[in-house]
Chain A
Amino acid sequence: MAKPQARKQVGKPKKSGLGGMGILLWVLGLPAAFMFLPTIILLFFAMLPTFAALLAERGPNRFAWLCVGGMNFAGTSPYLLDLWVSGQSYGKVFEILGSVVTLMVMYGSSGFGWLLYSTLPPVVTVFMTLSASRRIARLRGVQRTLVDKWGPEVGRVDEEEAEGA
């Protein structure tokens, strides 16, 4: 039998640099960024609590920045609309960012996000615990009915079963 010829898997050389998609993004993104720079500037400063939350959050479940971000965005959206209506001028951006009230609204709304993030999980926990207790009670009830109907032996584990287990 002929010795099978060893084939050397020659891996394709890894593409370095940007692919087609990356180039497309850069081609379209850079002009767009320049076009919407006032909006970006507003969003950058208005959404600082969200970026802080994103950076500060650790662990597998990273929902805090979304929570903060959603509310932060809700607080920012009136001013964003003002900016867009006013034709995205830099002056309008600085006017908005220069107002303490505006900043308080935007950052304050992110605080509601934090509030939501910290209060909803305990509520869900309580709800789930109550639900489990109700389920246990219902199952115990079923067991009681079985014992009433078939005697306490119904709950006794047979030796064979126990050994099998």
Chain B
Amino acid sequence: MAQGPEKAAGEKKAVKGRPGGAPRVSGEAVLLKDRYALYPASPLHELNSPTAQAFAAEDRRDQSNRLFVLICDPELPSRINAMRALRGVKVGGLLPLVEWGPVFWPPDGRVCLAVVYEEPLGGRVVLGPQARQDAIQEHDVVRRVIEPFTAAIKEIADRSLTHRAIRPDNLFYMDAARRQVVFGECVTSPPGYDQPVMCETIPLGMAQRDGRGPSTIGTDLYAMGISTLILLTGRNYVADMSDEEVLRTKINQGSYATFVADQRLPLPLIEVLRGLLSDDPSQRWKIESLDMWLAGRRLSPILVKPTTKAMRGFSLKGTEYTNTCELAQAVANAWEGALTTVQDGQLELWLRRALDDKPRAEMVKSAIASGPTGTTDPGAVADYMLIRVGVILDPLAPIRYRGLNVMLDGIGWALAVRMMQKQSVQTIVDLVVRDIPRLYTEGREEYNPDNAFFLNELKQMRSFLAMKTKGYGLERCLYEMNENLPCQSPLIADQYVLEIGDLLPALDAASKRVEHSRSPVDAHIAAFIATHFGYDLDPQFSALNDSTPERACSGMLSLLAVLQYRGGQEALLGLASWAASQMTPLIKSYHSTERKKQVDRELPRLIQKGSLPEMFAFLDNVEERQKDRDGFSRAKAEFAETEREVVSLERGGKEREKEAERTGQQAAALVSVVIGLLTLGILMFVRLF
């Protein structure tokens, strides 16, 4: 759990001078993991990341360590898996990540994720995209840039990760002498989120920033190539261009030509830069290629194939397109506006005649002719056709669907970003429900086993989306696709709950400020539990989603009780009280007033114990419940029997009168006859004796 603010020793603090005499840290400190003091009052603006602010930090055990902390944007998912993997890794070329964890951050008044790094003493290498800096000398580039960068990317790749934040303005000098260049942080935002289009490969540059995904190590090598080139030349030729212009230039001229332009590069470096900046992923240099090159082996130079240009342009919405890559993007942007143009055969004709690409023309013809399977919705038919045509025109492009441009491995990230920022996610939901990513993978020539993994995952997501109950639905998809996303429930979102073990303590803390009329298990919490809890919870979810309030209550309490029991949490007084206040339907479901009174007597004691399993065992005791049911059935039968008798007595007034009259007459007759006989008998007795 997050730790609260702590006053640093000696109250206000001002220690360790910075160059220029200003104190490095001041104000109260916040402790991370009882070791790292973070100073909210000491911002380090020069070390800010695009989505994370930098502040001074200290290691309480080793004050000689120069540290700084990045406070992540709470409305943006962070790369927790990368933090876990890179914590403590020290390799040349990578800013060392010292520690990370959630802390209560006073300026924001909530728990935020803090990532502590060693401070790069030489500052930032390039101050901004358009800033110019001194070029690193040709003879230094290999030793100071390419070697450490390669080592860093290799280290990251060994951990099955990608950096995805390699860009000139995220490079730092680790030493004060400004010799050792390192990659900056890569964990505070989604992969590729902060990357300018110039540092992304062409397909990734087309994707929206939240849907770029972790991609492959090849994209890191591409970004490394761009950064190396800019460090080498000291100039960024595309700095003045818009993202669209950069992308268009890359498509038309190729990345290498775009960035090198008319510069003269040192001959030994041309090979490596051509290799890294290749726009063909299959030709782009890999780590092994770099290793061999660094070891002195010279590889066969890569021939940059220019994009095939059509003899005449294809006109769409008033713009002429001469290559399929740009045209595919234009079709995706126009979407329904491009439908007529695609359907009337002009596109097929253009591919056949202007581009002389008969196989692709045939594929487009076939895509237009063959309807989609399993749908009769005309909108869906058009969508499927446009998607198929888009994939045929540009097989490497991101998944494009009604304004959404995401990579296959970026769908989960896009969902997380948009849900955290309270944006609409309907297009993503439609994309998953309609199984559109499958069209993309089927349209690609090369088989990628990773695609099968993602498609299977999306298949499972579809099944979750089909279920609208707690523990499933969109929220379940969110956590299944983003395992390291903190729980987004409004009840505990400000507590940054990452682990299932922290959930109940967070709810316990929330119980002090949340109205107890709200259920402690909302859709987010249920989905978070379902994703992160390693045991079968189907019975609990089944009960939780039951239409009868008492079953739903029982399911909710059972769910929380199982969590506390398995997690071994101590007493949770606040949560116990909160849960107990939700138990009215469950208590009311008992028929016996005796039992209800017993519950009323015992419940405060159970709340005081803070044990949810005990509370559940008491409130939903199977034996007691059976006893109650049986007793109630008997009582009901008895009541009905008495009611029948009462009704019979009340309705039988006239019959009773008749009966009474008859009985009275009989009695009178009997009395009269007896009197007559007795009289005779007595008189005879008197006369005779």
Interface residues of A (CB under 8 A from B): 61, 63-64, 66-74, 77-78, 80-81, 85, 113, 116-117, 119-129, 132, 135-136, 139-140, 142-143, 146-151, 153-155, 157
Contact = CB atoms under 8 A, between A and B. Distances in A.
B656 A116 contact: no
A17 B554 CA distance: 90
Interface of B: 591-594, 631-632, 635-636, 638-640, 642-643, 645-646, 649-650, 652-653, 656-657, 659-669, 671-680, 683-684, 687
Given A67-B668, A72-B676, A121-B660, A151 B649 contact: no
Contacts of B639: 143, 146-147, 154-155
A70 B675 CA distance: 7
B19 to A, nearest CB: 79
Contact of B676 (A61, A73, A120, A129): A73
Contacts of B592: 149-150
B680 A74 contact: yes
Contact of A69 (B653, B656, B674, B676): B676
Contacts of B593: 148-151
A119 B649 CA distance: 24
Contact of A121 (B636, B664, B673, B674): B664
Contacts of A135: 645, 649
A148 B383 CA distance: 65
Contact of B672 (A69, A127, A136): A69
B632 A150 contact: yes
Contacts of B652: 132
B585 to A, nearest CB: 14
B643 A155 contact: yes
A128 B659 contact: yes
22 contacts: A63-B666, A69-B672, A70-B674, A70-B677, A71-B675, A77-B676, A77-B680, A81-B683, A81-B687, A120-B667, A120-B668, A125-B657, A127-B660, A132-B652, A139-B642, A139-B645, A142-B642, A143-B643, A148-B593, A153-B591, A154-B635, A155-B643
A74 B674 CA distance: 9
Contacts of A116: 668, 671-672
B675 A74 contact: yes
* Among B591, B664, B666, residue most surrounded by chain A Cβ atoms (within 10 Å): B664
Contacts of A63: 665-666, 668-669
Contacts of A126: 660
B594 to A, nearest CB: 7
Contacts of B643: 143, 155
Given A74-B675, A74-B680, A125-B660, A149 B635 contact: yes
A164 to B, nearest CB: 12
A77 B679 contact: yes
Contacts of A73: 676-677, 679-680
B676 A74 contact: yes
Contact of A128 (B631, B660, B671): B660
B668 A150 contact: no
A120 to B, nearest CB: 4
Across the A-B interface, the 8 shortest Cβ-Cβ residue pairs: A121-B664, A70-B672, A125-B660, A73-B676, A66-B669, A124-B664, A63-B665, A70-B673
